Amino acid sequence: MMHATSYVVLLLVALSFADRARARVCEGALQYDRCSLNTACGCLPLSSNDNNAICAYLGIGCSELNSCAMDNQTCFEPNHVCVKHTRCHNRPLCYPIDMATHDMCPTMPITTTSPWIIDDGICASAIWNLYRWQC
Ligand SMILES: *[C@@H]1O[C@H](CO)[C@@H](O)[C@H](O)[C@H]1NC(C)=O
Protein backbone atom coordinates (compact mmCIF):
# COMPACT_ATOMS: atom_id res chain seq x y z
CA MET A 1 0.00 0.00 0.00
CA MET A 2 1.31 3.41 -0.89
CA HIS A 3 1.90 6.02 1.73
CA ALA A 4 -0.51 8.97 1.59
CA THR A 5 2.27 11.45 0.77
CA SER A 6 3.16 9.40 -2.29
CA TYR A 7 -0.31 9.99 -3.61
CA VAL A 8 0.05 13.72 -2.99
CA VAL A 9 3.38 13.83 -4.81
CA LEU A 10 1.99 11.87 -7.73
CA LEU A 11 -1.00 14.17 -7.89
CA LEU A 12 1.23 17.25 -7.89
CA VAL A 13 3.43 15.76 -10.61
CA ALA A 14 0.36 14.98 -12.70
CA LEU A 15 -1.01 18.48 -12.21
CA SER A 16 2.32 20.06 -13.07
CA PHE A 17 2.55 18.19 -16.34
CA ALA A 18 -1.07 18.86 -17.16
CA ASP A 19 -0.39 22.52 -16.45
CA ARG A 20 2.36 22.71 -19.07
CA ALA A 21 -0.19 22.46 -21.85
CA ARG A 22 -2.38 25.11 -20.29
CA ALA A 23 -2.07 28.80 -19.66
CA ARG A 24 0.30 29.99 -16.98
CA VAL A 25 -1.38 31.88 -14.19
CA CYS A 26 -0.19 35.31 -12.93
CA GLU A 27 -2.11 35.44 -9.72
CA GLY A 28 -2.44 38.83 -8.09
CA ALA A 29 -0.25 40.60 -10.62
CA LEU A 30 -1.27 43.79 -12.34
CA GLN A 31 -2.03 44.06 -16.02
CA TYR A 32 1.14 43.89 -18.13
CA ASP A 33 3.36 43.02 -15.14
CA ARG A 34 6.48 41.06 -15.95
CA CYS A 35 5.89 37.37 -15.33
CA SER A 36 8.42 35.46 -17.38
CA LEU A 37 12.06 35.13 -18.37
CA ASN A 38 10.71 36.09 -21.76
CA THR A 39 10.47 39.89 -21.51
CA ALA A 40 7.87 39.88 -24.28
CA CYS A 41 5.44 38.18 -21.89
CA GLY A 42 3.19 39.96 -19.41
CA CYS A 43 0.11 39.46 -17.30
CA LEU A 44 -3.29 39.74 -18.91
CA PRO A 45 -6.19 39.65 -16.42
CA LEU A 46 -9.02 37.29 -17.23
CA SER A 47 -12.15 39.28 -17.89
CA SER A 48 -14.20 36.70 -16.00
CA ASN A 49 -12.19 36.99 -12.79
CA ASP A 50 -10.26 40.08 -11.72
CA ASN A 51 -8.04 38.09 -9.38
CA ASN A 52 -6.62 35.87 -12.08
CA ALA A 53 -4.43 36.64 -15.01
CA ILE A 54 -2.51 34.62 -17.55
CA CYS A 55 1.17 35.10 -18.30
CA ALA A 56 1.00 35.61 -22.04
CA TYR A 57 3.24 36.55 -24.94
CA LEU A 58 2.21 40.12 -25.76
CA GLY A 59 3.72 40.31 -29.22
CA ILE A 60 0.50 39.40 -31.01
CA GLY A 61 -0.85 42.25 -33.10
CA CYS A 62 -4.10 43.73 -31.84
CA SER A 63 -5.69 43.17 -35.22
CA GLU A 64 -5.21 39.41 -34.83
CA LEU A 65 -7.35 39.33 -31.69
CA ASN A 66 -11.12 39.08 -31.81
CA SER A 67 -13.50 40.56 -29.29
CA CYS A 68 -15.14 38.31 -26.73
CA ALA A 69 -18.86 37.68 -26.93
CA MET A 70 -21.23 40.28 -25.50
CA ASP A 71 -21.06 38.71 -22.04
CA ASN A 72 -17.34 39.69 -21.99
CA GLN A 73 -16.43 36.15 -20.97
CA THR A 74 -16.99 33.85 -23.89
CA CYS A 75 -14.71 33.13 -26.82
CA PHE A 76 -16.06 31.12 -29.70
CA GLU A 77 -12.63 30.25 -31.04
CA PRO A 78 -11.20 27.04 -29.53
CA ASN A 79 -8.37 27.38 -27.00
CA HIS A 80 -8.89 31.08 -26.44
CA VAL A 81 -9.62 32.88 -23.19
CA CYS A 82 -11.25 36.23 -22.69
CA VAL A 83 -8.76 38.74 -21.26
CA LYS A 84 -8.41 42.45 -20.57
CA HIS A 85 -5.91 43.86 -23.03
CA THR A 86 -6.62 47.57 -22.88
CA ARG A 87 -3.56 48.51 -24.95
CA CYS A 88 -5.45 46.89 -27.80
CA HIS A 89 -9.07 47.53 -26.99
CA ASN A 90 -11.38 48.69 -24.20
CA ARG A 91 -13.51 45.63 -24.66
CA PRO A 92 -12.15 42.23 -23.59
CA LEU A 93 -10.38 40.24 -26.29
CA CYS A 94 -9.95 36.54 -26.99
CA TYR A 95 -6.35 35.47 -26.46
CA PRO A 96 -4.91 32.17 -27.72
CA ILE A 97 -3.87 29.92 -24.83
CA ASP A 98 -0.97 28.72 -27.00
CA MET A 99 0.61 32.14 -26.40
CA ALA A 100 0.49 31.69 -22.61
CA THR A 101 2.15 28.32 -22.07
CA HIS A 102 5.26 27.54 -20.04
CA ASP A 103 7.15 27.03 -23.27
CA MET A 104 6.19 30.47 -24.54
CA CYS A 105 6.59 32.33 -21.25
CA PRO A 106 8.94 30.38 -18.93
CA THR A 107 8.77 31.10 -15.23
CA MET A 108 11.34 33.47 -13.79
CA PRO A 109 13.85 31.76 -11.44
CA ILE A 110 12.66 33.71 -8.41
CA THR A 111 8.95 34.21 -8.24
CA THR A 112 6.25 34.45 -5.66
CA THR A 113 4.11 31.86 -7.38
CA SER A 114 3.22 28.52 -5.87
CA PRO A 115 6.34 26.47 -5.01
CA TRP A 116 5.22 23.35 -6.84
CA ILE A 117 5.24 24.84 -10.33
CA ILE A 118 7.90 23.14 -12.39
CA ASP A 119 9.70 25.53 -14.68
CA ASP A 120 10.54 23.21 -17.52
CA GLY A 121 10.58 19.63 -18.66
CA ILE A 122 14.33 19.14 -18.25
CA CYS A 123 13.88 17.91 -14.69
CA ALA A 124 14.18 14.16 -15.21
CA SER A 125 13.54 13.07 -11.64
CA ALA A 126 12.01 15.61 -9.34
CA ILE A 127 11.61 15.02 -5.65
CA TRP A 128 9.38 16.85 -3.26
CA ASN A 129 11.61 18.24 -0.54
CA LEU A 130 9.13 19.56 2.01
CA TYR A 131 8.63 22.97 0.41
CA ARG A 132 9.83 22.84 -3.14
CA TRP A 133 10.77 20.63 -6.03
CA GLN A 134 14.37 19.71 -6.40
CA CYS A 135 15.97 18.15 -9.44
C1 LIG B 1 -18.26 44.45 -21.40
O2 LIG B 1 -17.13 45.28 -21.27
C3 LIG B 1 -17.33 46.61 -21.73
C4 LIG B 1 -16.01 47.34 -21.65
O5 LIG B 1 -15.32 47.05 -20.49
C6 LIG B 1 -18.44 47.26 -20.87
O7 LIG B 1 -18.68 48.57 -21.31
C8 LIG B 1 -19.71 46.42 -20.98
O9 LIG B 1 -20.69 46.95 -20.13
C10 LIG B 1 -19.43 44.97 -20.60
N11 LIG B 1 -20.60 44.17 -20.84
C12 LIG B 1 -21.05 43.29 -19.93
C13 LIG B 1 -22.22 42.47 -20.33
O14 LIG B 1 -20.53 43.15 -18.84
Number of domains in the chain: 1
- Helix (H) or strand (E) segment spanning residue 134: strand 132-134
Q: Which residue has the higher pLDDT, 134 or 22?
A: 22
List phi, psi (to 5°) of 11.
Answer: -65, -45
* Nearest CA residue ID for atom 12, ligand 1: 71
pLDDT of residue 55: 95
* Nearest CA residue ID for atom 3, ligand 1: 91
Report which residue type is found at 119: D
Which of 50, 71, 72, 94 for a ligand 1 pocket mutation test, highest count of atoms within 8 Å of Cβ?
72
Q: How many A from CA of 131 to the centre of ligand 1? A: 41
* Nearest CA residue ID for atom 1, ligand 1: 72
Report which residue type is found at 108: M
Tell me the whole-structure pTM to 2 decimals: 0.66
Q: Do residues 94 and 73 make contact, with C-beta atoms less than 8 angstroms apart?
A: no
* Nearest CA residue ID for atom 5, ligand 1: 91
pLDDT tens-digit map of 68-120 = 999 999 999 999 999 999 999 999 999 999 999 999 999 987 645 555 555 55
pLDDT tens-digit map of 5-60 = 454 444 444 444 444 456 788 866 789 999 999 999 999 999 988 789 999 999 99
Q: Of the candidates 41, 12, 58, which has an alpha carbon nearest to the alpha carbon of residue 102? A: 41
Burial of 83 (0-12, 13-18, 19+ CB in 10 A): buried
Distance of CA 67 to the CA centre of its chain: 20
Q: How many A from CA of 62 to the centre of ligand 1? A: 19
Which structural domain range is residue 89 located in? 4-134
